[in-house]
Each structure stands twice: as C-alpha cells, then as structure tokens.
Amino acid sequence: MFCRVELRPVADKETIVIMPPTVTSQNRDLDLKHLWHGNLQHRGLELRPPLEMASADGCYVIDSEGRRYLDGMAGLFCVNVGYGRREIVDAVAAQMSQLAYYPLTQSHGPAAQLAGRLAELLPPGLDRVFFTNSGSEAVETALKMARQCARQMHPGENRYKIVARHRGYHGFTMGALSASGQSARRAAFEPLVPGFLHVPPPDPYRCSFCCSQPECSLACADEIDRVIRMEGPETVAAVIVEPVIGGGGVFPAPDGYLERLRAICDRYGVLLILDEVITGFGRTGKLFGFEHGGIRADILTFAKGLTSAYLPLGATVASEQVFSAFEGDTESVKFTQVSTFGGHPSSCAAGLANLEILTRERLWENSASVGAYLLEQLRGNRCPWIAEVRGCGLLIGMELVSDENKTPLSEARMVQLLREFREAGLIIGRNVESAPGYGNVLILSPPLILSREDADTIVATVTRVLGRL
C-alpha cells in the first residue's frame, strides 16, 4: 500500500505530512501488483507509474491527483467527438435496460440500424457490414473475407497472399499483426501467418525511390505492382493499406497514390482493403480517408471513431461484389465466422448516437480547418529539431532529428520528451516500435472538437518543451 507524502507549510516552514492511503494510492497499488499493461516494461514501474485517469470533458482529461491535461491523442486516436457526451451515455443506458445482449447469429435493432447508417454514409455499393469488437478483429475479418472471397471468385487459382506496407499497423491478432509492417512488434511472435509481403510506404522525407527527381513519380506505389507481378497475380488475394499511416509515424498518401493503388488492384483482380480504423469518421479532415483519393475500396475496416471509444466496436464493410461471392445455395460458401460480442447492442447504440453527433456537428470540417491551422502553426515553428511536420486533418506527425544528416532523435530523448509534455499538461503520442531506430515521430491526434485556442495551447507547449532540448 502506498501512502501519499505531502509538503505542508506550517508556520513558514515546510513539514512532511504522511497522508492516509487514498483511493488513488490503493488503485496504484493494485495496478502495480496485478495489472499487466501492454507495451510497458513492468520492472521498475513503481518509479514511473502509468497515469491514472479519473475523469474527462471535451478535449481534457483529469488524473486522480486532479491534474488536467489536453488530450492530444484522443485516448488512442479514438475519442473523436470528445469526452463527456451525455447523449451517448443516455443511448447506451436505454439500450442496456431494454435489451442488454443478443448475438448476431440472430438480429437486433441497433446493429441493423447502425449497418444501415454506415451504408448511407458510404458510397453506393459498400453496404454490407460485419461487426466485431475492435480494430484488430475488423482487420482479421477483412483478411479472412479477402482470402475466402478470392478463392470463390477465382476458382482454380490459389490467391492467398496479402501485400501490405512497412510501418503500417493493422492490429495485434496474428493475422492483423502479420499484415503490420513493424518488425519490433512482430519479432517475439514469429513465425506469423504465411503469405504476407511488405513494401515501403510513401515517405517523401526519407524516400528511397524518386527523391533525386524533380517530381514524385509514385514509384513506391508501383512497387506494389512489381511485387504482385513477381509473386504471380494468381497467388495474390488483396492489398491492405491505411489511407494515411497513423501510429507508424503519420504518412499521408501523396497525390495520386491511392488512385494508382486502385488501378494496380484492378489490373490484377486483387482486392483492395482500406484500413480506416484511425482515418475513418473525420480524423483526416474528410469523413473517410479514401475520399482523399476519391477511390472505391473492396473492403473497409473501422473501429475507434465508430463509437468514439465510448464502447468497443469494430466493423468490416464489404462491397456488393465481395458479398455476392458468398451468396449461393450451398452451406459451403458462407463466411464461416461468429463473434459472441461483435455488434453488441449497447456498442451499436453508442455508435448510432456517436454518428448522430459527428454528422450533426460535421466534425470532419472542424478537423480539416483546425487541423490545417495547427499544421501551419507547427510548421512555422523554428525549432531545429523538427525536421518535418506532416499530416492531414487532426492527424499530425512531427519528425525529430538531431542533425542535418537526418539522424533520428534518440530513444532516450524521445522518452524524456513525452514525460516533459505530460508535465506541461499535454498528452502527445509517438510512433513506438514502428521501424527499428525510427521511433522519432511525435504524434498529435486530438478530439475533432479541438478549438483554435486549444491548437494555440498545443503549439505553445510544443515550442516551450522542444525549446528546452
């Protein structure tokens, strides 16, 4: 049990007062003793315990000691409509009272209505929704759908390979992790699922393709064409990409990249899976990430902003064409997957209320305008460590280097920086373990309700903290 130690002024001297254990210290004690946190080394954790968050409102979170932070990460890229939306809470409470649970082996209103709402928001022909509990599961589902669909669409071929990109992240389950191009996250669990191939992402700052030419040739997109040809198109089921790589370090697709990708997939009869787990629902300044290229996906994956994380929910949306490959008279062509909790009525009720807020307030527009303002202000910052500020909407990355040879800022300094941001009242993210030696991108992904004043606070904090480097 931890006891809080406070310095109390007593007749102009400071005295140490041992406070009785509080709920906070009890929680911390239980946490350190019993919780297993992902991506955290537990040895010595008592010296740097995780933040214990107690409440939140709008763009701000408050920890159990009463300290307030601007949540520059919207949790984990997910609280799009901001914290404290009563409307969502009420919708969930009402749903729980009426029908706490029923599986989607049968049906219920909230799932049917949310599937219908998604179909309304998406372009025609993308209207078949499979619900899951998380982004990883949405991706896992998409990969399985793509493999089964490719076999059913191309009988006699053996299309099972999936092309993905280095630095992309698609989730922690074995299939989604196999699609992820982040070696440090994969290493401990290899061998992973066979048949996944990786190509370099678009990265104009460290481009290894066409950086010596006056203009971008989209050679990194053509690399996908080359890999499909070399592998044999009759072995390739799908290409999976994030419209903007998020957690891997924020890499927006250059102009024409998504369109080129669509053309390559069409050329070889390969399905295009767009992982919109982060980019969906306004994050990049459009309602969906694919709008940046004006392209059509065969399969889309969603989670995070679908409920703004008020409850867990993921969704895999298939095109009419993909769905029709599963239609038939026999049992053998059905999509063989069941999820107990996927499409939980309460999560779907949260999703419906969340989309009502998001569309009523047109939050992708605020994401676009405040995001552009924030990007411009950060780019105007003269801090020599900031080599590049990139992103779109309210998804922004700042690549930090220590010299003009583009040497990434060291791991130790990045860790220290994040601590200093936290002490300065700003929660900021970074690309942990996305590429060996390149964990040097600070990431901002705040709630989409961020105001210009909040953006100014972020810029002032970044200037102050990086100025001390």
Ligand X SMILES: Cc1ncc(COP(=O)(O)O)c(C=O)c1O
Site residues (vs ligand X, CB under 6 A): 134-136, 139, 169-171, 242, 246-247, 275, 277-278, 303
Question: What distance in Å separates the CA atoms of residue 389 and residue 383, rounded to the nearest whole number?
Answer: 11
What is the closest distance, in whole angstroms, from the C-beta atom of residue 44 to ligand X in the complex? 26
Q: Which two tokens stand for residue 254?
A: 């250059």
Residue 459's Cβ-side half-sphere holds a number of Cα atoms within 13 Å equal to 21
What is the closest distance, in whole angstroms, from the C-beta atom of residue 258 to ligand X in the complex? 15
Give the residue carrying structure tokens 């999703």: 351
What is the closest distance, in whole angstroms, from the C-beta atom of residue 115 to ligand X in the complex? 19
Q: Which two tokens stand for residue 289?
A: 């990430």
**Closer residue to ligand X, CB minimum distance, 131 or 385:** 131
For residue 238, the surrounding DSSP H or E stretch is strand 236-241
**Is-contact 82 449, C-beta < 8 A?**
yes
What is the closest distance, in whole angstroms, from the C-beta atom of residue 99 to ligand X in the complex? 25
| Ramachandran sector of residue 295 (left: φ over 0; alpha: ψ -120 to 50; beta: rest) | beta
**Closer residue to ligand X, CB minimum distance, 248 or 371:** 248
**Closer residue to ligand X, CB minimum distance, 58 or 247:** 247
> Which residues 6+ apart lie within 8 Å of 374 measured at CB?
394, 396, 444, 450, 455, 458, 459
> Which residues 6+ apart lie within 8 Å of 355 measured at CB?
114, 117, 121, 281, 306
**Closer residue to ligand X, CB minimum distance, 163 or 386:** 163
**Closer residue to ligand X, CB minimum distance, 144 or 154:** 144
- Among residues 349, 338, 344, 346, the alpha carbon closest in space to that of 105 is found at 338
**Closer residue to ligand X, CB minimum distance, 28 or 167:** 167
What is the closest distance, in whole angstroms, from the C-beta atom of residue 279 to ligand X in the complex? 8
Burial 214-247 (b: 16+ CB within 10 A, else e): eebebbbbbbbbebbeeeebeebbbbbbbbbbbb
Question: What distance in Å separates the CA atoms of residue 164 and residue 180, rounded to the nearest whole number?
Answer: 7
**Closer residue to ligand X, CB minimum distance, 139 or 239:** 139
Angle between helices 411-423 and 452-467 (to 10 degrees): 130
What is the closest distance, in whole angstroms, from the C-beta atom of residue 425 to ligand X in the complex? 24
Closest residue to ligand X, based on beta-carbon distance: 135
**Closer residue to ligand X, CB minimum distance, 274 or 449:** 274
**Closer residue to ligand X, CB minimum distance, 135 or 181:** 135
What is the closest distance, in whole angstroms, from the C-beta atom of residue 334 to ligand X in the complex? 25
What is the closest distance, in whole angstroms, from the C-beta atom of residue 200 to ligand X in the complex? 17
Burial 420-429 (b: 16+ CB within 10 A, else e): bbbebebbbb
Question: What distance in Å separates the CA atoms of residue 314 and residue 140, rounded to the nearest whole number?
Answer: 11
Give the residue carrying structure tokens 């992103």: 391
What is the closest distance, in whole angstroms, from the C-beta atom of residue 41 to ligand X in the complex? 20
What is the closest distance, in whole angstroms, from the C-beta atom of residue 242 to ligand X in the complex? 5
> 386 pairs with which residues across the strands?
400
**Closer residue to ligand X, CB minimum distance, 350 or 466:** 350
